[in-house]
Amino acid sequence: MWISDRLKNIKPSGVRRIFDLARQMKDPINLSIGEPDFDIPEPLKEEGIEWIRRGFNKYTPTQGIPELREKIAEHLRKKGVLFEEVMVTAGVTGGLLLASLALINPGDEVLIPDPFFVMYEYQVLLMGGTPVFIDTYPDFRLREEEIRKRITEKTKLMIINSPNNPTGAIYPLEDLKRVVEIARERNLLLFSDDIYDNFVYDHLTCPTVGQLYEKTLTFGGFSKGWAMTGWRLGYVAGPREIIQQMITLQQYTFSSVNSFAQKAAIKALDFNVDSYIQGYQRKRDLIYEGLREKFNVQKPQGAFYIFPEVPGGDGEAFVEKAIQNNLFIVPGSVFSKRNTHVRISFAASEETLLRGIEVLNRIG
Ligand SMILES: Cc1ncc(COP(=O)(O)O)c(C=O)c1O
């Protein structure tokens, strides 16, 4: 009776039973985690601590401190991203919430390539919007016909996430060009969630729609690339008209974001994490090579997830079996309208990965 109507479309996860089972596991081989297994690099921790000691602990400007906004702008310009304004947010999560509040009306349709990061679906639902899923199976590519057949008069925007959680895919430039062509034709906004942009393997570069289309909101952050998940820091860049509204919203919701983390983030943008990424590429190779014989699997090009199809085609049943064998992974149905795959995070030690691979092959 007290709960708002807004929440009526938000249902508890259908796989809660699996997470309940997982909670009872003692010392599992845990390949479910969505954050790096390294800590914030020491010099960045020191920078944060130094600013705390110096008393930089008060509210900061709503849109973020000017020196960080300038640094982010420089970083995005180097990447060739088009934008007019930048703001600092409480992680990409905070940025997505502000953008959703600013842009999605009840009844608006939002295109989301499936598989997808869970938060997108729920943020759209929370606004009274309708998530509309675009099938990208089996190779996790964006296909023009799949997009076109889902567009209606109510379509307002599309969310792109590359490198992708949960698939590890990087959409090739030709796919993004096609998306932009459709967006121009239908006057759609694009959201580009670039949070994994540090995690790119095989010397590839990761193209992003923000480089191609000015009506893009580009989201980025410090949670993954510099392991600052708990410091809650991210940013959004895009058209001034939208960012300004989001700054007003930030004033009335978050007020401002973490003070010392903003100072450390300035340093982070100059802190090279290549050695960490090389380590992650080795983990990627280990898990891909370990699974490819028994599983139908795409080689991840970025992020730190691999998303194989399971033998028998029932992801949830497969995860239950994994849990019985002390391995915790996440059913694909958490990230998709299909239940044929599982998400395995390789943000873990090589030893843990090897133990996980052994179980996966045994039960596969
Ligand atoms: C695709 C994607 N976007 C955003 C986030 C959340 O990022 P943040 O910690 O910056 O809120 C995650 C975290 O798992 C993610 O996988």
Whether residue 34 has its Cβ less than 6 Å from ligand 1: yes
Whether residues 255 and 219 share a domain: the answer is yes
Residue nearest to atom 16 of ligand 1 (CA): 165
Ligand 1 nearest atom to the CA of residue 94, by list position: 11
Inter-residue contact 322 to 298 (CB < 8 Å): no
Whether residue 194 has its Cβ less than 6 Å from ligand 1: no
pLDDT for residue 119 is more than 90: yes
201-237, pLDDT tens digit by residue? Answer: 998 889 999 999 999 999 999 999 999 999 999 999 9
Q: Is 153 left (phi over 0), alpha (psi -120 to 50) or beta?
A: alpha
- Model-wide pTM > 0.95: yes
Cα(92) to ligand 1 centroid in Å equals 6
Residue whose entry in the numeric block shows the structure tokens 């690339």: 225
pLDDT band at 341 (very low <50, low <70, confident <90, very high): very high
Q: Which residues contact 214 (CB under 8 A, 6 or more apart)?
A: 82, 239
75-100, pLDDT tens digit by residue? Answer: 999 999 999 999 999 999 999 999 99
pLDDT for residue 11 is more than 90: no
Whether residues 128 and 248 share a domain: the answer is yes
What is the predicted pLDDT for the residue at 16?
80
Which helix H or strand E contains 306, and what residues bound it?
strand 305-306
260-308, pLDDT tens digit by residue? Answer: 999 999 999 999 999 999 999 999 999 999 999 999 999 999 999 999 9
pLDDT band at 50 (very low <50, low <70, confident <90, very high): very high
Q: What is the CATH number of the domain that holds 47?
A: 3.40.640.10
Beta strands in the chain (DSSP E): 29-30, 85-89, 109-114, 130-135, 155-161, 189-193, 216-221, 234-238, 305-306, 327-328, 330-331, 342-345
pLDDT for residue 5 is more than 80: yes
Per the prediction, the chain carries an average pLDDT of 96
Whether residue 223 has its Cβ less than 6 Å from ligand 1: yes
Number of domains composing the chain = 2
Beta strands 109-114 and 130-135 are parallel
Whether residues 351 and 290 share a domain: the answer is yes
What is the predicted pLDDT for the residue at 22?
86
pLDDT band at 18 (very low <50, low <70, confident <90, very high): confident
pLDDT band at 32 (very low <50, low <70, confident <90, very high): very high
Among residues 268, 291, 321, the one where a domain terminates is: 268
Among residues 231, 253, 268, the one where a domain terminates is: 268
User: Which domain range does residue 10 map to?
Assistant: 5-40+273-363
pLDDT for residue 13 is more than 80: no
What is the rounded (10 degree) CA torsion for 283, 176, 97, 305? -10
Whether residue 229 has its Cβ less than 6 Å from ligand 1: yes
Instruction: Report DSSP state, residue 164.
Output: -
What is the predicted pLDDT for the residue at 156?
98
Alpha carbon distance, N-terminus to C-terminus of the chain = 46
Whether residues 48 and 30 share a domain: the answer is no
Q: What is the mean pLDDT of residues 184-190?
A: 98
Quote the percentage of the chain above a pLDDT of 70. 100
351-361, pLDDT tens digit by residue? Answer: 999 999 999 99
Whether residue 356 has its Cβ less than 6 Å from ligand 1: no
**Which mutation among 112, 117, 120, 257 tests ligand 1's pocket best, with the greatest number of atoms within 8 A of CB?**
117
Q: What is the mean pLDDT of residues 52-69?
A: 98
Whether residues 159 and 194 share a domain: the answer is yes
**In DSSP terms, which residues pair with 226 in a beta bridge?**
none
Whether residues 63 and 29 share a domain: the answer is no
What is the predicted pLDDT for the residue at 21?
86
Whether residues 217 and 292 share a domain: the answer is no
Among residues 268, 297, 330, the one where a domain terminates is: 268
Whether residues 283 and 232 share a domain: the answer is no
Inter-residue contact 48 to 183 (CB < 8 Å): no
Whether residue 92 has its Cβ less than 6 Å from ligand 1: yes
**Which mutation among 119, 232, 334 tests ligand 1's pocket best, with the greatest number of atoms within 8 A of CB?**
119
Whether residues 241 and 263 share a domain: the answer is yes
Whether residues 247 and 288 share a domain: the answer is no
pLDDT for residue 103 is more than 90: yes
Whether residues 117 and 171 share a domain: the answer is yes
Whether residue 220 has its Cβ less than 6 Å from ligand 1: no
Q: What is the CATH number of the domain that holds 27?
A: 3.90.1150.10
Instruction: Report DSSP state, residue 301.
Output: -
Cα(237) to ligand 1 centroid in Å equals 16
Whether residue 195 has its Cβ less than 6 Å from ligand 1: yes
303 against 25, higher pLDDT:
303
What is the predicted pLDDT for the residue at 34?
92
Beta strands 130-135 and 305-306 are unpaired
Cα(224) to ligand 1 centroid in Å equals 8
pLDDT for residue 14 is more than 80: no
Cα(93) to ligand 1 centroid in Å equals 6
Give the number of other CB atoms < 10 A from CB of residue 322. Answer: 29
pLDDT for residue 15 is more than 90: no
pLDDT for residue 319 is more than 80: yes
Whether residue 258 has its Cβ less than 6 Å from ligand 1: no
pLDDT for residue 154 is more than 80: yes
pLDDT band at 10 (very low <50, low <70, confident <90, very high): confident
What is the predicted pLDDT for the residue at 56?
98
What is the predicted pLDDT for the residue at 218?
98
Whether residues 114 and 136 share a domain: the answer is yes
